[in-house]
Amino acid sequence: MNDNVLIQVKDLKKHYNDGEIKALDGINMEIDQGEVVVIIGPSGSGKSTFLRSLNLLEMPTSGQILVDGVDITNPKIDINLHRQKMGMVFQHFNLFPNMTIMKNMTLAPMKLLGKSKEEAEAKAKELLAVVGLEDRGDAYPNQLSGGQKQRVAIVRALCMEPEILLFDEPTSALDPEMVGEVLDVMKKLAEDGMTMAVVTHEMGFAREVASRVVFMDDGVVIEENTPSEIFENPQSDRLKNFLAKVL
Amino acid sequence: MSDLVAQFQLNFIDGDRWQLIVQGLGRTLVIAVFAVVIGVAIGALLAIIRSTYEKNGEDMKKRSKGRYALLSVLNFFAKIYLTIIRGTPVVVQLMIIYFIIFAGSNNDTLVAVIAFGINSGAYVAEIIRGGIMSIDEGQFEAGRSLGFNYAQTMIYIIIPQVFKVILPTLCNEFIVLLKETSVAGYIGIMDLTKAGDLIRGRTFSPFMPLIAVALIYLVMVMILTALVGRLERSLRKNER
Ligand SMILES: Nc1ncnc2c1ncn2[C@@H]1O[C@H](COP(=O)(O)OP(=O)(O)O)[C@@H](O)[C@H]1O
Ligand SMILES: [Mg+2]
């Protein structure tokens, strides 16, 4: 195990209905600092469940998730502190509709990190500028387009200065013309060294940005490799079939 | 026409009987306003217990057996409360509370406030719980994923949204309660309804006092309904 390991997942299982549904059936994975792991696979293969297990939005049935060496499935640890360090971006953005963009971004840093309003707002403004939304701080979420909402959701997560960002199909709810603007932001984050785990159907993004691509099916990892190996030289029939359908 | 004037004179002017109506109206309003305050307090408490059990019970079970056991017990009693209160007529509850639980109390208005408050609490609880459940699960998840604990997520993110959703319904609950207090006469309280009935008994002319009472309720309800309508519109306008 090298020093750069941020997350280590050991034999992770998530069963529903007393084991009738095996959403995750023994996942082992390491995510290093600065890596961009893109998770692909057919619908229902357990990608969301896996991603959501990483910050315990889903409680695993068994297995371990070590973050910075600490097993977060241990009920005794304070999961809220760990979640502060693991930002999450959702398919449907989940911005708080009753708050301005600025409030969306400053609420958690102020309440949880004890930042002053000035500090939190300065940071938020800086991040909004990075995603080209510096003049929308006073807007409410429903005054923004889908692509803008998702860019805000990303920087909202960044305001907590997380060690890793988890993306669950961040562009799937967007109109096609807005997909690019969100992927561009994600690409920029990757270039800046952000550790990311991304569930997506955007194979172009996977090919270009991923340091590693993981192919899941039926709750297990079938193949994982560099993007070029996954896309040019798939080993398993399941991956070949999947790629034939999506490419 | 002159007959109506004479009727009016008999029922409201003679013996200053209009004062009964005014006093009765005052009593009705006092009971309704204080009861709704108690109702909202009880309702909020019950809703917090019930929705915490439903939304956070599993999580709590893993982390603290003791707190989960306490929550389960509270949830159990909350359910019993809701079943009993919503399964029996308010006038029967009022009489049980007055004649059995507070037997011998000489502050019947206070007893009525408590009784109607307890009754209203059950309905308010379900209004609030429904409001909490109506908020998109993604809002909870966004809150939790930022690192807020369950209580913080509720306080900072969910409750403000619930409040907007349920405010009109809560106001309607007050309107319902205002009318329901008209059974307060069963425990000898001279509320608006009872005042009208009293005048009828004295003057032996039912038309004027009962229609007057009905009109007063109607006007109050219409005014409140109009206010709720305005509130709803302004909430919708702010909803951006
Ligand atoms: N709450 C749940 N109850 C029962 N089955 C579930 C639940 N959540 C997910 N599943 C099942 O787990 C499997 C994996 O789901 P998911 O992780 O959402 O897949 P993906 O994100 O790859 O499409 C699916 O078969 C799904 O039906
Ligand atoms: Mg999914």
Domains of chain B as residue ranges with CATH: 2-239 (1.10.3720.10)
Give residue-wise pLDDT tens across range B44-98: 999 999 999 988 888 888 878 888 999 999 999 999 999 999 999 999 999 999 9
> Which of A195-204, B80-89, B98-107 is the least confident region?
B98-107
Q: How far is the CA of A149 from the centre of ligand 1 (A)?
A: 26
Phi, psi of B195 (to 5 degrees): -60, -45
- Using alpha carbons, select from A91, A77, A61, A57 the residue that is nearest to residue B140: A57
Question: Which phi-psi region, left, alpha or beta, contains residue B142 (left: φ > 0; alpha: ψ -120 to 50)?
Answer: alpha
Kindly report, residue by residue over A62-90, the tens digit of the pLDDT: 999 999 999 999 988 999 999 999 999 99
Whether B104 shows a pLDDT value over 90: the answer reads no
CB spacing of A160 vs B146 below 8 angstroms: yes
Task: Say if residue A64 is exposed, middle or buried (CB neighbours under 10 Å; 0-12, 13-18, 19+).
Answer: middle
**CB contact (8 A) between residue B145 and residue A83:** yes
Give the mean pLDDT of A193-217: 97
In this structure, are strands A212-217 and A220-225 parallel, antiparallel, or unpaired? antiparallel
Burial grade of B111 (CB within 10 A; 0-12, 13-18, 19 or more): buried
Collapsed DSSP state (helix, strand, coil) of residue A148? helix
Which bound ligand lies closest to the C-alpha atom of A219?
1
A96–B145: do the CB atoms touch at under 8 Å?
Answer: no
- pLDDT of B239 > 80? The answer is no
Question: Alpha-carbon distance A5 to A32, whole Å?
Answer: 4
Q: Are A25 and A9 in contact (CB under 8 A)?
A: no
Q: Tell me whether A51 touches chain B (CB under 8 Å).
A: no
Q: How far apart are the first and last CA of chain B?
A: 56
CB pair distance less than 8 Å for B145 and A81: no
User: Which residue of A80, A87, A157 is in closest CB contact with B148?
Assistant: A80
pTM, two decimal places: 0.88
Per the DSSP assignment, residues forming a β-bridge with A214 are: A39, A224
From the CA of A46, how far away is ligand 2's center (Å)? 7
Burial of A192 (0-12, 13-18, 19+ CB in 10 A): exposed
User: Average pLDDT in the A7-29 region?
Assistant: 95
What is the C-alpha to C-alpha distance for residues B8 and B14, in angstroms, rounded to an integer?
A: 9
Q: How far apart are CA B107 and CA B156, in angstroms?
A: 40
Q: Taking CB atoms and a 6 Å cutoff, what residues make up the pocket around ligand 1?
A: A 16, 21, 23, 41, 43-49
Residue from A27, A40, A45, A88 whose mutation best tests the ligand 1 pocket (most atoms within 8 A of CB): A45
ipTM above 0.90, yes or no: yes
Q: Indicate which ligand has the atom closest to the C-alpha of B137.
A: 1
Question: Chain A residues with CB inside 8 Å of B58's CB?
Answer: 59
Judge residue A245's burial from the number of C-beta atoms within 10 Å of its C-beta, 0-12 exposed, 13-18 middle, 19 or more buried: exposed
